[in-house]
């Protein structure tokens, strides 16, 4: 059950919230906390995410002055998303 709760490699608080919505057993909080803290995937990525500072971009003055795009796959299909920052 702990593996299913932590399948998305969420943090401790998110996993506890998710578990409380689905199930309960004695010592659930401490077991989930220990399980998440021992997760190698979470430990490998948590420092990398925390070390990047936020960067404020200036607001463009006109449409199409700044455009962002990204590629992603969902349900076996490829998508291109494009955003105009104006």
Flag whether pLDDT at 39 surpasses 90.
no
**pTM of the predicted model as reported, rounded to 2 decimal places:** 0.44
Question: Per-residue confidence at 48, pLDDT binned at 50, 70, 90?
Answer: low
Q: Give the DSSP letter of residue 60.
A: P
pLDDT of residue 42: 58
Flag whether pLDDT at 66 surpasses 60.
yes
pLDDT of residue 22: 85
Spatial CA neighbour of 29 closest among 13, 41, 11, 8: 13
Residues whose CB is less than 8 angstroms from the CB of residue 11 and which lie 6 or more positions away in sequence, other chains included:
36, 42, 46
pLDDT of residue 73: 93
What count of residues does the chain have? 86
Percent of the chain past pLDDT 90, that is, above it, reads: 34
């Amino acid at each position: 059950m702990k593996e299913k709760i932590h399948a998305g490699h969420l943090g401790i608080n998110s996993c506890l919230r998710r578990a409380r919505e689905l199930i309960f057993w004695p010592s659930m909080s401490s077991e989930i906390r220990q399980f998440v803290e021992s997760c190698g995937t979470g430990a490998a990525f948590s420092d990398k995410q925390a070390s990047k500072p936020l960067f404020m971009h200036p607001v463009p003055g006109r449409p199409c002055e700044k455009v962002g795009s990204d590629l992603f796959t969902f349900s076996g299909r490829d998508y291109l998303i494009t955003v105009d920052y104006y």
